[in-house]
Structure formats: C-alpha cells, structure tokens
Amino acid sequence: MRRIVQKSILTGLLSVVASLGLSFSIVPFLGGQVAGAGLFMTIFCPLAISIPASALHFTQSEKVRRAEAAAKEALQKLADAYEALHLQSRTDGLTGVLTRSAFLEALNVASQKGASGALLFLDLDHFKTINDRYGHATGDEALRRTGQILARYQSQSDFSGRLGGEEFGLFQNGLTFDEMLARCEEVREDVARIVLKASSGSQVRISASIGALYCPSGFDPSNSLKTADDNLYRAKALGRNRVVA
C-alpha cells in the first residue's frame, strides 16, 4: 500500500508539471495570463484527477500481479503433485524400485533406443518359508534390502524393478557378456550378505537365484524376458543361490 501511495503522488506531481508546462506555453500564446484562480486550477485539477485515478490503477495492477503470482504458484504445485503422483505410480512402495509395468515400459524404451547389455531376473529363495517362519515384517525387510541393493547398481541408463512378489528385474546398459556374469555374482553375493533380525530375535540370512541374459542391440523385449525367466527357473531347479546365464 505504501508503494502504491508513493507512486500515485509521484504521478500526481508529474501531472502538475505537465499541466504547468502546457499552461505557461499555450495561455500566454493566446494572450492570457496564468495567475490567480487559473494557476490554482492548473495545479489542483491534475492532482485531484491523477492521484485517485493512478491509485486505482496501481491497486488494480497490484491485484492482477498478485493473482498471476498465486496462479503461477498454484500451477507449479499442481505440476509438482502430478510429478509426485506419476513417480509414485511407477515406483513400488515397499522396495523403491520400479513397478512391473514401469520396468517393462523402460525395457521397451531401451530396446527401441538400441541399447545392449545385461537383463537379470532375481528371485529370493524360500521366501514363503521366511514369511511363514519369521513373519511378514521380516519378509518385507528382505524385499526392502534387496531393492536397495539393486538400486545401487543403477545409473541414468540402468533400471531395476519389482516384477511381482519376491521377483526382481535389473537391466544394465553397456555390459559385455563376461561383465554380466561378474555382475550377477556381485548381486548374488550382496544378497547373501544380508542378515535380518526377526521379531523373535533370530538372525535370518537370505539368498537369491538369478537368471540372466545378454541383450544385443535391438533385442526383442518379450523374448528376452521369457529367456531370462527360464534361466531363473533353471537356477532354482539346480539348487538355488546360483546364476544361470
């Protein structure tokens, strides 16, 4: 409000200066004289008209500016909420990795962009037994810790997801076949190092079976998923806690 008053007064003073300038230029030219009531009106009228008019104008302008700022802030909050909701819809709430649908979508995009690398399917061994013996809280913690391990192997072009239950997927762009084998063993060993503490106080160790596939540039996502899944079940059939690639 103070700024509006100051700007209105300044506008009024400028109006008076303009009025005096015109009066002292035109009135003498017409043979008149600026004095007395004429001089008073030359000063008073611009002040009486311009100050209220400019105050109204500046007030409305300030209201518009504030409304625009509020609208901009509301739009930003809406965009942030949409982005958060979009991220939430793509992220598994328990493990923090992608949901199954988001993982499959990312795999399709990687294929379309000509990516090549390693596709890993990971399944926690005897997960039902862990839930039944130690409780679902311990099982959830096993899933959370596994998701954290997979997230550590991600970069801008890599992604991991929870494909359902205790099954996870990891795609690592740019790995060779030998690098893929080494990475599979790293992940398997990382999971095997997890030690959980059940509500009973017991320590619970877990392990994972991994089925892996090297995906060349232009790989077919559907066939690759099936092959990696078949390799995973071979790893489990061969005794679990191992890699089949």
CB 135 within 8 A of CB 196: no
Q: Retrieve residue 68's tokens.
A: 């625009």
- Do 77 and 160 belong together in one domain? no
| Tokens matching residue 55 | 């105050």
Tokens 């990516």, residue located: 115
Q: Minimal CA–CA distance to 163: which of 113, 124, 214? A: 124
Query: How far apart (Å, rounded) are the C-alpha atoms in residues 187 and 204?
Result: 18
Q: Say whether both 108 and 197 belong to one domain.
A: yes
> Residues 158-204: pLDDT tens digits?
999 999 999 999 999 999 999 999 999 999 999 999 999 998 889 99
Stated length of the chain: 245
Catalytic, 166? Answer yes
Q: Domain count of the chain? A: 2
What are the tens digits of pLDDT across the range 19-78?
666 666 665 666 666 666 666 676 666 666 766 776 667 677 777 777 787 777 766 665
Q: 125 and 57 in one domain?
A: no
Helix (H), strand (E), coil (C) string for 81-98: HHHHHHHHHHECCCCCCE
Same domain, 209 and 116: yes
The answer to whether the predicted template modeling score (pTM) of the entire model surpasses 0.75 is no
Selected catalytic residue, list 73, 105, 141, 166: 166
Nearest to 119 by CA among 234, 236, 231, 6: 231
Looking at the fold, whether 141 and 219 belong to one and the same domain comes out as yes
Residues 68 and 128 reside in one and the same domain: no
